[in-house]
Amino acid sequence: MKQGLFIIITLLGALLSSAQQKHTISGTITDQQTGETLIGATIRLLGNSGIGVLSNSYGFYSITAPENKYTMVVSFSGHKSDTLEITLNKDITHQFGLEPAGAQLNEVVVVARRNDNITRTLPGVQKISIEEIKNVPVIFGEQDILKTIQLLPGIKSGGDGSTGFFVRGGGADQNLILLDEATVYNASHLLGFFSTFNSDAIKDVTVYKGDMPAQYGGRLSSLLDVKMNDGNNKNYRVSGGVGLIASRINVEGPIVKNKGSFMISARRTYADLFLKLSKDSTINRSILYFYDINAKANYQLNERNKVFLSAYFGSDKLGFSNQFGIRWGNATTTLRWNHIFTSKLFSNTSLIYSDYSYNISINQTTNNLSIVSKIKDLTLKEDLQYYAGNNNKINFGFNLTKHTFTPGEFLTSKTSSYNSLILQDKYALDGVAYVSNEWEASDKIKLNTGLRLSSFNITGPGDFYSYNSKGETTDTMAYSSGKIVKSYLNLQPRFAATYQLNKLSSIKISYSRNIQNLHLLSNSTGSNPTDLWIPSSNNVKPEIADQVSAGYYRNINNNKYEFSTELYYKLLQNQIDYKNGAILVANETVESQLVYGKGRAYGLEAYAKKKYGSLTGWISYTLSRTERHIEGVNNNLWYPATQDQTHSLSIVVVYKLGKKWTLGSDFVFNTGNAVTWPSGKYNIDGNTAFYYTERNSYRMPAYHRMDVSATLQGKKTEKFDGSWTFSIYNAYGRQNPYFIQFQNDPANPQRTQAIQYSLFRWVPSVTYNFKF
């Protein structure tokens, strides 16, 4: 009996020990010099299993492994790796502070060459480092994230002077731009010449070309996720730049050393000062400026809790003396709370308020008119990350947004030619819940699966109209406050898989569905700050995109060169277009002017990059097609979307010449946009009118341009770092087509001719950058 018991106990003991106790090590990864949390740092336990995780957007990591001794290696680009021997026999917390790799060129630093692009699961993702943004020459010498991402495959520029960008054939309103989790509605100043992001203050930029993780959604084609610096929590630092057109300054420092910090960053342009020099009275009485202010503060309450408060204000103003003025801008405020429940469960709660509005005022003696239009959003977001162990991470959460749209309030004086008009406000409640799983099934296979459920509800108070095919109102229904007019429930699955062929190459495939409930109405070929955003409604259905993609990724020469190629195919539903002569302005029944249809986009992207050495850069090439099929348009036949550009090539080269000079240049080439041009002409009342046949059956001439820049490193001491950047946008001054107009030849009115207008030829600039 005793012997039997003894055997059972021994067996049980053997069973228990072979089940192997697991423990968790967790903590935060920061930059040792500034205290900034590092996003996407790699933390690995060396050994047979090679367990590893990436730090999350707040620098948090958590690894669960069987009880054992391990060597932990933590690495992040631009920093020296850190190694730690640990004995994992209970739950441990450990904070890592990584040293930057050192700015001196003659310092030999062993920095492991990363193969993130091979191992990272999601295809269609592009990360850009701040260094890369700083070295790419851009118009007016201003560093610009939006312009830099347009040099990547699959992301097309809207052209000179254009705000929008187009990802994989999607529309300009199909890109979700987040700045520290707050949605940015207008990401460019002054029609796209300057971005709203001050690159001094940016920590991380990631672009998802449609394959977004399940915690993101709301726009069909892409996500541009921009994270700002939190602020140096050890020392005060000031940096900035003074340029010909605009200047910027960034001040950061500790609130309580090592516990809390703040950052304030501001930019303003003074282009209007130059306009005053003009002799033309229209120009010298013009007002043209923009400004941005970014402010953040954070405080570590205790080991498990950290709070953040951030705000962004940006505004553009354009006017002609006091006769006409338009002002538009974004303001956002975000309150966030990081809470670490257990060593495996991380939570972030955010409360976000955003306000996007424009204001127009016209004073023409008797004709006075002021117009106000805005969108206000209030969002509550809860994101939880559970590091389950076994190479399994589960993300789940929800968010709730209340949208209030003020489409337009037109106020006029008694003598004005216009009546006052107040379009009714629109209200919508957007609720989302999601769950997703990142699983390393084996050392070769990684799977990401996710599901996002969204419930979009349009609520009263208000009148809701129904229309017939002629656009006439057939029914008006009144709803009281809070009553649901229409609800759209959409399930959005997300799936991605990576198969690692070997350490240097992998294959990725993915499928995702995205929904968009906010639609930008703009029937001009360029976008306007006064374009109208409308929510889905009883007439307008949510837009849907289904995208599949497959890619091959390969690094060569020990990760010195990256190479990738991806194929994608995207189907779009419920795409919006406009009736002939559509009236979108000041129209209560604007939905009667819309027509609907579908779209498809497909393409091949190729990308090659050299990340290390004194010569770095990348080449990206996209071959693509994007088409639409809209009821009543083009005789109900497929036609190319305006943004369809068959070939698109970008080459970026950065060369570090000695200790003082960095030379940068980029070259872009793309096939022209699709345009509708005349196929004949006729006479109406003595004037020549043009006859059109198919929609978008012609192409603008090709666009190509090269920009060059040279940065001269000035004196650099412990306390001060200055540099001069000289650049020329459009270095060979090509007259790139901005638009083409047809008119009677002034020299020979019997003939018609085509005139091409170009916007920029050579644009030089000088900027002085400083840091102390």
Q: Cα separation of 22 and 86, whole Å?
A: 14
| In contact, 514 and 176? CB cutoff 8 Å | no
Smallest gap, in angstroms, from Cβ of residue 696 to another protein? Answer: 7
Smallest gap, in angstroms, from Cβ of residue 175 to another protein? Answer: 20
Nearest to 510 by CA among 210, 223, 218: 210
Smallest gap, in angstroms, from Cβ of residue 768 to another protein? Answer: 23
Q: What share of the chain is helix, strand, coil (3-state, %, to 5)?
A: 10, 60, 30
Smallest gap, in angstroms, from Cβ of residue 758 to another protein? Answer: 5
Q: How far is CA 423 from CA 327, 404, 586, in A?
A: 20, 13, 7
Nearer to another protein, 116 or 694 (CB): 694
Smallest gap, in angstroms, from Cβ of residue 363 to another protein? Answer: 12
Nearer to another protein, 400 or 582 (CB): 582
Nearer to another protein, 159 or 217 (CB): 159
Smallest gap, in angstroms, from Cβ of residue 568 to another protein? Answer: 26
Nearer to another protein, 54 or 585 (CB): 585
Largest CA distance in the chain: 118
Nearer to another protein, 521 or 653 (CB): 521
Nearer to another protein, 384 or 700 (CB): 700
Residue with tokens 């994989």: 168
Q: Cα separation of 80 and 97, whole Å?
A: 10
3-state secondary structure of 338: strand
Smallest gap, in angstroms, from Cβ of residue 372 to another protein? Answer: 12
Strands (E) in 441-479, as ranges, are 445-459, 462-467, 473-479
Q: Cα separation of 32 and 93, whole Å?
A: 17
Distance of CA 462 to the CA centre of its chain: 33
Amino acid code (one letter) for 283: I
Nearer to another protein, 3 or 687 (CB): 687
Q: Is the peptide bond before 461 cis (omega within 30 degrees of 0)?
A: yes
Nearer to another protein, 25 or 326 (CB): 326
Smallest gap, in angstroms, from Cβ of residue 734 to another protein? Answer: 11
Given CA atoms 104, 654, 57, 91 in this order, what sign does their dihedral have?
negative
Quick one: 363 exposed, middle or buried, by C-beta within 10 A (0-12, 13-18, 19+)? Answer: middle
Nearer to another protein, 262 or 760 (CB): 760
Smallest gap, in angstroms, from Cβ of residue 751 to another protein? Answer: 6
Nearer to another protein, 274 or 720 (CB): 274
Residue 488 CB-half CA count within 13 A: 20
Q: How far apart are the first and last CA of the chain?
A: 80
Amino acid code (one letter) for 370: S
Amino acid code (one letter) for 662: T
Smallest gap, in angstroms, from Cβ of residue 640 to another protein? Answer: 12
As given in the structure block, the two tokens for residue 267 are: 């930019």
Torsion angle (degrees, nearest 10) of CA 514, 516, 522, 523? 60
As given in the structure block, the two tokens for residue 268 are: 């303003």
